[in-house]
Chains A and B, each alone.
Chain A
């Protein structure tokens, strides 16, 4: 049973249920009806999913049935050994880190983790990391650097946790330190945005040599609702803000923020988690093949240039001269 059915999913799911019922009845007289329903279903899928709005993708990215980091880890790796704690304060369950074998390659995995049921969601703090989560992630990455293993980061968080303890323990410092260290970490880093890329909280494990993004994931400087509350003075105008902020995989590929869009099963990763995982695994493998094949100097130089070039501005040599926009990357 799905935990959540979105409004635009409902007609499809109802039709699928109707088909299933008819099939179960096993009566040959339903054959034509089943066939007609199948046709209708195909049309519905195309209509619904070929042109999703930014807001619809936001809702898919946050879907309660969407595969989370540990789901992917269990599907695509063998021998996963989870590591706990930042060695300073405590273990943050909103971030998982560990050692894994991915298609024969030893990798260190770091990822944000949401919970499935109420208790687990609270335990995982809804995927919102405290400073110790970022520090645990960095500890795992430094380990990867020391033992020359590539790092794979799974990004899926609404935000870094805005709480009193988080501030007391230096949330800003923890994220800043990760950006600093990841930019010069002497081992390949692959980043995969699988769900919600929530601002600085996401970027805190998001600096890497190659950035993949699942088709229906989002990555945003601020949650659309938050942006709407501030700029439109109405938190309910999230759909508009989602459009304006350019947070979808297609827009971000165009802006040069991400390198590759990873396809999802029609209807979203949650409709067929196994297929979603295998498509993702293929992309991870080809990306790792590429970045692990580079020499260290070239790897670091490419990573530097990648982030050095991000931004969009104009350069006016003389104030009165007409300027031409310079988009980098």
Chain B
């Protein structure tokens, strides 16, 4: 095994702001227990009692995985529009404005360039706060541009999914983003560069049935909901209760569709190790951090399912 063993818990990079609902105590959706808010924050938003991984915002994830929490956001000029003039209980236009104000993002994905373990990478990170991380035209275009940029620059690509699927309010234009991003992944694949897909809770539907399932390596956070159809739809269709743990990352791994289930505190390290392993043999690690990671990689042993 070439994973470097981590000692202790990785702290968020300095300056990382983790958003948590107000109040001293939180009710953990994982174990239902009241947990001290501060303790969860200091633990990368992971429940100290049951290891439940709370959702991270896109900027939080970037801080978590990039070296020193440093990255450059790209493709910031892309904004959603309302091609269908869609109105449900609200106008889509108004819904977009609300979510933009709430999240300070233009849409549900953040494209970033930076270094992980010393290696330059392109990353597309989805943010569940923005309309459930749904994929509309902007998400599709940004993920596509990230693949294209990574291909052009000959660097690896990482996507981090946290999504309920397609953006209904953009109708078929949103469905077509599945074809567009899968095509981008296919073309990127032809460049011979590495694509790692990370699945965070939840990763379902349109995004799962496109680029997120197309990684050379597929990584997931523990207990993340991973699947195509949502559990409620399946339950209604078959008229039966679903088995315990159905559609958890661990379940999906057992069935052969996820390579590694990684705790949040190890994610950066695992990504760095993957980048190192898949780098062309003759290329040297671009800086000392990576060289160190590469040299210790041989002696390392981490079984990624173990709770250490």
Q: Which residues of B contact A15 (CB under 8 A)?
A: none
Residues of A within 8 A of B168 (CB): 221-222, 227, 230-231, 245
- How far apart sit A183 and B80, CA to CA, in the bound complex (Å)? 25
A101 at the binding interface (Cβ < 8 Å) = no
Interface of chain B: mostly helix, strand, loop or mixed: helix
Q: Is B213 in contact with chain A by the CB < 8 A criterion?
A: yes
Chain A residues with CB under 8 Å of B183's CB are 179-180, 183-184, 207, 304, 307-308
A313 touches B257 (CB 8 A): no
Contact across chains for B229 and A167 when beta carbons are under 8 A apart: yes
Among B19-27, B36-44, B46-54, B236-244, the one that faces the other chain is B236-244
Of residues 186 through 234 on chain A, the ones whose CB sits less than 8 Å from some CB of chain B are 199-200, 203-204, 206-207, 219-222, 227, 230-233
Once A164-B238, A172-B208, A180-B185 are accepted as A-B contacts, the answer to whether A311 and B176 lie under 8 Å apart by CB is yes
Which of A163, A207, A219, A221 is in CB contact (< 8 Å) with B174? A221
**B179 near A314 (CB under 8 angstroms)?**
no
CB pair A317 B234 closer than 8 Å = no
Interface size band for A: 35 or more
Q: Is A296 an interface residue (CB 8 A)?
A: no
In Å, the complex CA distance between A220 and B227 comes to 20
Set of chain B residues within 8 Å of A221, measured between Cβ atoms: 166, 168, 170-172, 174-175, 206
Complex contact B81–A172 (CB within 8 A) = no
- Say yes or no: is B277 at the interface (Cβ < 8 Å to chain A): no
Interface centre among B83, B88, B246, B257 (most CB of A within 10 A): B88
Nearest Cβ on chain B to A70's Cβ, whole angstroms: 25
Within the complex, which residue of B141, B208, B228 is in contact with A166, where a contact is CB–CB below 8 Å?
B228
Q: Is the CB of B77 within 8 A of A315?
A: yes
Find out whether the CB atom of B174 lies under 8 angstroms from the CB atom of A162. Answer: no
Q: A160-B228, A177-B214, A244-B88 are in contact. Are A200 and B175 (CB under 8 A)?
A: yes
Q: Within 8 Å CB of A104, what residues of B? A: none
Complex formed: what's the CA distance from A181 to B210 in Å?
Answer: 11
Residues of B within 8 A of A310 (CB): 137, 140, 173, 176-177, 179-180
Question: Which A residues touch B138, using CB under 8 A?
Answer: 311, 313
**Are A257 and B172 within 8 A (Cβ)?**
yes
Task: Let me know if B228 and A200 touch, CB within 8 A.
Answer: yes
State A245–B227 Cα separation when bound (angstroms).
Answer: 24
Number of interface residues of B (CB under 8 A): 63
How many angstroms between the C-alpha atoms of A168 and B228 in the bound complex?
10
Q: Is the CB of B170 within 8 A of A312?
A: yes
Question: Which residues from B are CB-within-8-Å of A312?
Answer: 81, 83, 137, 170, 173
B78 in contact with A232 (CB, 8 Å): no
Measured in the bound complex, the distance between the Cα atoms of B214 and A177 in whole Å is: 7
CA–CA, A172 and B88, complex, Å: 28
Instruction: Give me the interface of A with B, judged by CB distance under 8 Å.
Output: 160-164, 166-173, 175-177, 179-181, 183-184, 199-200, 203-204, 206-207, 219-222, 227, 230-233, 244-247, 252, 255, 257, 304, 307-308, 310-317, 323, 325, 327
Complex A-B, nearest 3 residue pairs according to Cβ-Cβ distance, in ascending order: A162-B229, A311-B137, A179-B182
Of the A-B pairs whose beta carbons lie under 8 Å apart in the complex, a sample of 14, sorted by A's number, is A162-B237, A170-B213, A176-B213, A199-B206, A221-B166, A231-B168, A244-B87, A244-B88, A255-B173, A257-B176, A307-B176, A311-B138, A313-B138, A315-B78
